[in-house]
Structure 1
Amino acid sequence: MLLPMLLGAAWIILALAQPAAAGEDADTLVLPHDIVQRAASFADDLVLPDHAEPIDALTAPRMALLKPSGDGPFPALMLLHQCAGLNSAVAAWARRAVARNYAVLLLDAFSARGVTSVCYGPKAGVNLVRGAKDALQAAQHLRRKPFVDPKRVALVGFSWGGMVGLLAARRHYIDAFGTGPGFAAVASFYPGCFRIKPPGGRDYDLVGPDIAQPLLLLMGDADTETPAAECVDKLTPLKAAGAPVEWHVYPSTTHCWDCQQLDGRSKTDVRGNHVAYRYQPDVVADSERRLFAFLERRWARK
């Protein structure tokens, strides 16, 4: 639920006219590493949970490290929420993952920073690039756990978290933060693929040719908040050029199809689009199937 104005006033100071980084496609706008690092410095690093809990301990959505019974090593997912913060829909994905014998780091990028929403712009230094650093630090954190298989750590992001995932899947950002190899796979649910255009600042793209690991996007064709067509138009030439990306667009499916708490609600977004939310349990079930099939294909190649 994040829109192109997301990088607001704090980003104007980053409006430095520099060429694309070495190895980047000339048509892809990128932020040089020094700007990436500065952008992520506006908020302190998160304190990530060390102690693993059973899924039954998750009685309400919160930051938590969760694991199945047993010693593992388990594959692990880092789950990253939408622009309005951690909610019951994302917590439900944690339960699905643990039921499939995955460890889960349920990340809350907002609460410890006093943020409730970034849907209309960054708050307290929380922007997309800070989110990418959070995600990559979480991957590093998971790889160090004795019950986690360090070669099977994936990110699953939703809307804003999915856009963060697009950055965290790219070699440019992995290298900029120096937090290790990143994720073995990334899945983005209903992300935006906008070219970010901060007022008075430097434009940059979320999607680029430097996708470092398999990337899955799941989208709805009735999503007017983060339209699927904007992603498909950018991903098609990348896939044709050999990028490890795949996607599926669900017919008659809105933004946040897994968000039962938003069912029937609507709004006018910052771009003037009418946005409707419809909970669609059949799509939830199919997206669960597609997500874990994608991950199992990835693990089979490790």
Structure 2
Amino acid sequence: MKKSIVWPWIAGLSVAVSLTGCQEQAQPPKDELIQTPVARNRYVSFPALGTATPLQVAGRLSLPTNAEGKTPAVVIAHGSSGVDSRGSFHARALNEAGIATLEIDMWSARGLSGGAEGRPQAVSETLPDAWGALKYLSAQPTIDASRIGIMGFSWGGVMAMLAATRKYAAQSEPGQRFVAYAPFYPVCWAYNRVPGYEFGALTGAPVFIQAGEADQYDDPDSCQKLVDSLSPEDRSLVSLTVYPGATHAWDRLEPAAQVEDPYSHTGQGGTVDLVPSPDAAEKSRRAAVDFFRKAFGMTP
């Protein structure tokens, strides 16, 4: 049975990408080391980079137990880590592959709770969290600062898309860049159509988009049309996998749900199904690991 979730959306395109997060607020981070078979997990905090008002962002840093020397890392833009399965689901696979992860909580720092009414007005407002995470990881003695990537889901996927452009990458600390971007279901119809969501003039690092054919924010070919519309130089940097029958948030493995969103269906509005797909979830998790391992120059 699907759970119906009716969210009174806030105005602006941020509504269209304020998706799939539960409306719980993460607990403040603790300086606590938790050992698992694949990772050493520590709750940390770091300042966002470039916000008008100082913000301290919470996160969960997971260092793989099998790592030798300095470790590559991936920032996971997830909202409140631990609220649903996606962050830990992907982090574990990356950790098993010898890649550190930093799941960031963009809501608590702003006194927000997540969900449609508890998020910023625009995705660009949370990009300082990504730049702060990049700076934090770059300073860690166990992390290889030249091999840091970013992935994200929905809102976080849009963050990864925007971060891959030179326009927004210029906001990061001088000399620091993400070297790979892996957005999941990043609402492809909106780019280069809605002001503030331009996608082009890329940094030169690879971008791997994963989307669902049955994602009701987009048409089945919205992401392919976006890729096809790019300049030849940018197009050469972007790869795309579309999972047949997969809805938005196919890797959210909690029970199926529905959301009402006036910006769904390429901006026409209506109901959006969020249906877990264990098969697509596992394929997309493995594909993300393979993408980052290749981008980081790790042995197959």
* Equivalence for 1:284: 281
Rate the CA distance shift 1:225–1:83 in 2: closer, same or farther, 3 A.
farther
Q: Does residue 5 of structure 1 match 2:12?
A: yes
Question: Equivalent pairs: percent with the same residue?
Answer: 27
Rate the CA distance shift 1:78–1:183 in 2: closer, same or farther, 3 A.
same
Rate the CA distance shift 1:176–1:237 in 2: closer, same or farther, 3 A.
same
* Equivalence for 1:23: none
Structure 2 counterpart of 1:143, from 138, 142, 146 = 138
Q: Does residue 300 of structure 1 match 2:292?
A: no
In structure 1, C-alpha distance between the alignment counterparts of 2:210 and 2:10, rounded to whole Å: 18
Structure 2 counterpart of 1:258, from 219, 242, 251 = 251
Question: 2:250 touches 2:275 (CA, 8 Å); kept in 1?
Answer: yes
Q: CA deviation at 1:197?
A: 7.8
Q: Does residue 128 of structure 1 match 2:128?
A: no
Structure 2 counterpart of 1:224, from 211, 216, 220 = 216
* Equivalence for 1:13: none
Structure 2 gap ranges (5+)? 1-6, 16-27, 44-57, 264-268
Q: Which amino acid aligns with 2:246?
A: T
3-state DSSP of counterpart to 1:67: strand
* Equivalence for 1:29: none
Structure 2 counterpart of 1:248, from 241, 245, 248 = 241
Question: 2:212 touches 2:242 (CA, 8 Å); kept in 1?
Answer: yes
Q: CA deviation at 1:228?
A: 5.3
* Equivalence for 1:169: 164
Question: 2:64 touches 2:99 (CA, 8 Å); kept in 1?
Answer: yes
* Equivalence for 2:54: none
Structure 1 gap ranges (5+)? 9-46
3-state DSSP of counterpart to 1:5: coil
Q: CA deviation at 1:212?
A: 3.2
In structure 2, C-alpha distance between the alignment counterparts of 1:117 and 1:251, rounded to whole Å: 29
Q: TM-score, normalised by structure 2?
A: 0.73
Question: 1:158 touches 1:191 (CA, 8 Å); kept in 2?
Answer: yes
* Equivalence for 1:38: none
Q: Which amino acid aligns with 1:65?
A: L
Rate the CA distance shift 1:285–1:85 in 2: closer, same or farther, 3 A.
closer
Q: How does 1:1-302 map to 2 (within 5 A)?
A: 5-7=12-14, 54-55=35-36, 63-69=59-65, 72-81=69-78, 86-117=83-114, 119=116, 122-123=119-120, 127-193=122-188, 194-195=190-191, 203-227=195-219, 229-238=221-230, 240-243=232-235, 244-261=237-254, 263-271=255-263, 272-300=269-297
Q: CA deviation at 1:196?
A: 8.0
Higher helix share: 1
* Equivalence for 2:25: none
Deviations 1:158-204 (A, max 9, x none): 11000011111111111134453320101001111314888xxxx23
In structure 2, C-alpha distance between the alignment counterparts of 1:3 and 1:209, rounded to whole Å: 30
Higher strand share: 2
In structure 1, C-alpha distance between the alignment counterparts of 2:291 and 2:231, rounded to whole Å: 16
Question: 1:78 touches 1:105 (CA, 8 Å); kept in 2?
Answer: yes
In structure 2, C-alpha distance between the alignment counterparts of 1:51 and 1:72, rounded to whole Å: 22
Q: TM-score, normalised by structure 1?
A: 0.73
Rate the CA distance shift 1:86–1:215 in 2: closer, same or farther, 3 A.
farther
Q: CA deviation at 1:273?
A: 2.2
Deviations 1:2-35 (A, max 9, x none): 9982458xxxxxxxxxxxxxxxxxxxxxxxxxxx
3-state DSSP of counterpart to 1:163: helix
Q: CA deviation at 1:252?
A: 0.5
Question: 1:85 touches 1:117 (CA, 8 Å); kept in 2?
Answer: no
Q: CA deviation at 1:299?
A: 2.1
Q: CA deviation at 1:286?
A: 0.8
Rate the CA distance shift 1:7–1:106 in 2: closer, same or farther, 3 A.
closer
Question: 1:218 touches 1:287 (CA, 8 Å); kept in 2?
Answer: yes
- Deviation larger for 110-119 or 210-219: 110-119
